Homo-oligomer: A and B are copies of this chain.
Amino acid sequence: MKRIAIDMDEVIADFNTKHLRLFNEQYNEQLTVHDLQGTRLRLLRPHLKNEIIGYLKDPSFFRDLDVMANSQEVIKQLSEQYEIYITTAAMEYPTSFAAKYEWLKEHFSFLSDMNFVFCGDKSIIRADYLIDDNVRHFEHFAGQGILFHAPHNVNEHAEIRVHNWLEIRDYFLR
């Protein structure tokens, strides 16, 4: 059985919507994901970088992110033909561990927590495929990287790019 490793933020967890909402509320702005094309909020407002990163250090930030559209049903389908692992670069925000774990248990309860991986450098992951929004994780990955489209990565080159979970279903189950 082939194995698919799947990232969390901006792949199955809608990181941007909450992050932008907190920022817009605090600084009375109206930024949307369209403003994030090819960039990141912290690069767009560099003088507020510490505050922007600060939201992510709140242990509860990752607990109530929305689930990305169609990710649950497609992963459930994929799990019948592939081994599914959730591989998230949690070491960047160590305070996020518990929230990320609880979020996965709530929204992807059909996956075993034995298949959750909280790591830093993803070259440690042994899988046939890695679905991720960060191209840097593909560099030393031994399998096939699949770039999940996100505002920040629109200008990145990727051998395979998917825009949503229905495209992923087509890629694996066509």
How far is the CB of A10 from the nearest CB of chain B, in Å? 19
Q: Are B118 and A114 in contact (CB under 8 A)?
A: no
Chain A interface extent, by class:
20 to 34
Nearest-CB distance from A131 to chain B (Å)?
15
Q: Does A123 contact B (CB under 8 A)?
A: yes
CA of A131 to CA of B85, assembled, Å: 22
Stretch of A25-33, A93-101, A153-161, A164-172 on the interface side: A93-101
| Minimum distance in angstroms from A14 CB to a CB of chain B | 23
- Residue in A85, A115, A119, A127 whose Cβ sees the most chain B Cβ within 10 Å: A119
**List of 8 A-B pairs having minimum Cβ-Cβ separation, nearest first:** A114-B120, A97-B97, A126-B126, A118-B118, A114-B121, A117-B119, A91-B113, A94-B101
State in angstroms the CA–CA spacing of A91 and B100 once bound together.
12
Assess whether A124 is in contact with B121, with CB atoms less than 8 Å apart.
Answer: no
Which residues on B sit within 8 Å (CB–CB) of A162?
none
